[in-house]
Amino acid sequence: MTADQSSARETFKKIAGNIARVMHGQSAATRKLLTALASGGHVLLEDFPGTGKTTLAKALARSVDASFKRIQFTPDLLPSDILGVSIFDQRDQQFHFHGGPVFTNILLADEINRASPRTQSALLEAMGESQVSVDGERRNLAELFFVIATENPVEFRGTYPLPEAQMDRFAMQFSLGYVPAAEEVSILAAQQHRHPLDDLKPCVSLSDVLALKRAVEDVRISDELKRYAVDIAGATRTAAGVRLGASARASIALMKSAQALALFDGFDFVAPEQIQELAVAVIAHRLVMEPQARFSGMTSAAMVGEILKKLPVPA
């Protein structure tokens, strides 16, 4: 491991340790979140209310000494509320651009499925190309731009499911799930007097995170494992019950996040385990299932899991 990679791994550990002080029993989710952060992808957290989605996002934002904005998505939210708006200044008779919350390092898009598709789409360009076009003018976003979106799977009324194109732009989707009872007790104990989130201090700087992203790019991956990632994505395209399979963007995201996870685990090259671990989070949300398969209880996550079992893993 090179010095850069070692220090990058230190950064990983520091953030993970910091988050663990708030999020009890969620180390697997933390791993995935940090993996996405380091590989330059965006994350969609889908879980029931009260499982700690927002807390996890806030904990990450507090741990990194970077700017953090939060948008609460509501049905009446407009694209200009996200991107910003030019306002006429009476004094100097000119328009001035007032950047929206998208001009930040870490953006929490809370309950993203509550806003109209038009507003959701405003995030598309920002997430895909790390730039926004307002009033016909292109504005670049910060070098570190990480979107954590959350959504609630149980509600249907007053929500707008995310368009497939938007889903494809999230590198990963995962859920937190309920923690075991013992962990939950410790959460209660921690919050008896005050929320531990308030005491959280930044432990790494913005430049540390950027160095981490660069170090991830240097993690080696063999052709065989690239082929494995491609094969997994390819298998979803031909699998029965899947209407829309995973794109090449999916296999790219899988490779990049596997590189980040390898670094997290202290390797300077990618092993098949990392690909397997991330495959469901990276691929499942991109699939569109046939209605019959859906009604027979097949989910896309289960479909990817099955593919992982069937496909011979390089050993």
Partner 1 sequence: MGATLLFWGWQTGSTAFFIAGAVMGAILESSRLFKTRWEFSDDEFGRVWTFCNVLFVAAVIFAFNDNGGPSGLSELFENFSAASEHTASNAGAMTVDAVIRWLPMIFFLFILAQTFSPADGVPLEAVFLYLRSRLKRARKRGQAVPPTRRFDASYPFFALCLFSAAGHTVEGNSFYFGLAALVSWALWPVRSRRYSLPIWIGALVVAIVAGFFGQRLFGQLSRLAEEYDPQLLSYLMRSSADPKKSWTDIGDVSRLKLSGRIVVRVQPQDGAPPPVYLREASYRELAESAVNINKRIYKQLVWDTGNTNNEFPPMTETPPESGIFPLHPESDNRSLVTIGCYLNGINRDDKYAYGVLPLPADCNRLENSRAYFVYQNNLGTVLAEGPRLMIFDACYGSGMIRDDLPNADESISNEDLEVPTNEIPAIKTVISRLDVTGKSDEEKIFAVTRFFADNFIYSLTQENLPVADTNDTALSRFLLKSHKGHCEYFATATVLLLRQLGIPARYAVGFFVHEPSGNGYVVRQRDAHAWCLVWNKKKRTWENLDTTPPSWVATEREEASPLEFLSDFQSWVEFEVLRFFDYSHNNIRQYIFWPLIPALAFLLYRIFRGSRRHKNQAKPAEPFPWPGLDSEFYRLEQELARHGLPRQPGEPLSAWLQRATTHPELSKLKERMEKILRLHYRYRFDPQGLSDLERRELRDDVKTCLALDE
**C-alpha to C-alpha distance for 125 and 134, rounded to whole angstroms:** 11
Question: Exactly one of 127, 252, 270, 287 binds partner 1 (CB under 8 A); which one?
Answer: 270
Question: Exactly one of 269, 290, 294, 302 binds partner 1 (CB under 8 A); which one?
Answer: 269
How many other C-beta atoms lie within 10 A of the C-beta of residue 122? 22
Site string for partner 1, 272-311 (x = CB under 8 A): xx--x-------------------------------xxxx
Q: Is 314 in the site for partner 1 (CB under 8 A)?
A: yes
**Nearest to partner 1 of 106, 255 (CB atom):** 255
Q: Is 91 in the site for partner 1 (CB under 8 A)?
A: no
Three-state DSSP state, 109: strand
What are the tokens at 50? 């009260």
Q: Is 214 in the site for partner 1 (CB under 8 A)?
A: no
Site string for partner 1, 216-245 (x = CB under 8 A): ----xxxxxx-x------------------
**Nearest to partner 1 of 21, 213 (CB atom):** 213
**Nearest to partner 1 of 23, 279 (CB atom):** 279
Q: CA torsion sign, 135 to 77 to 146 to 169? A: negative
What are the tokens at 268? 């300077």
**C-alpha to C-alpha distance for 292 and 96, rounded to whole angstroms:** 53
- Contacts with partner 1: how many residues (CB under 8 A)? 22
Q: Which one, of 164, 66, 156, 52, lies nearest residue 110 by Cα?
A: 52
The phi, psi pair for 68, rounded to 5°, reads -135, 130
Read out DSSP for 162-199?
Answer: PPHHHHHH-SEEE---PPPHHHHHHHHHHTTTS-GGGG
Rounded least distance, CB 227 to partner 1, Å: 7
**Nearest to partner 1 of 181, 315 (CB atom):** 315
Residue numbers of the site for partner 1 (CB under 8 A)? 220-225, 227, 268-273, 276, 308-315
